[in-house]
Homo-oligomer: A and B are copies of this chain.
Amino acid sequence: MDRAYKVYSIDNGTVIDHIPTPLALKVVEILGIGNEGIFTIGVGFQSKSLPEGKDIVKIENRILLESETDTIALIAPRATINIICNGKVSEKRKISVPETIRGVMTCPNPNCATNNLGAEKHFTLEDPSQVVYRCRYCERVTEVKPENLTAP
């Protein structure tokens, strides 16, 4: 690769950079944005800070909520979030794993009510240093993995 960047800039919206490759598609999935709007995704780009390669997602004309960008921290804690207005970075947003997760994570306990009885998936942060959450229903403690996260 002789070009570092391969996704055009946007004038307004949200840029999510430094996602470890190939997690961009998972980021789009857990944000639930895959079925609407205008966005571009780059996968496998060169990165100094991520030797394995990085992914980038640019969402046009949409400013993600903090609750949405914090969800990204579950799988890409060192992702960088820039909010773009009129072609300029208007906010460099810090992200941190959310205190609670609703909807997007599946409890690994097959007997949990959230897997069988339609109870809402709802987890509370147990240990921020390890991104470990406790299910509010069955109390099972689980480490977040991309494969346990789904569309909201």
Q: Which A residues have a C-beta under 8 Å from some C-beta of B?
A: 1, 3, 5-8, 10, 22, 25, 28, 34-45, 53, 60
Contact = CB atoms under 8 A, between A and B. Distances in A.
Contacts of A37: 43-44
Contact of A43 (B3, B22, B40, B42): B40
14 contacts: A1-B38, A3-B8, A5-B8, A6-B8, A6-B40, A7-B8, A7-B40, A22-B34, A25-B28, A34-B43, A38-B43, A38-B53, A39-B43, A40-B42
The residue in A7, A8, A36, A40 that gathers the most chain B C-beta atoms within 10 A of its C-beta is A40
A2 B5 CA distance: 21
A42 B37 CA distance: 11
Contact of A41 (B1, B8, B41): B41
A50 to B, nearest CB: 14
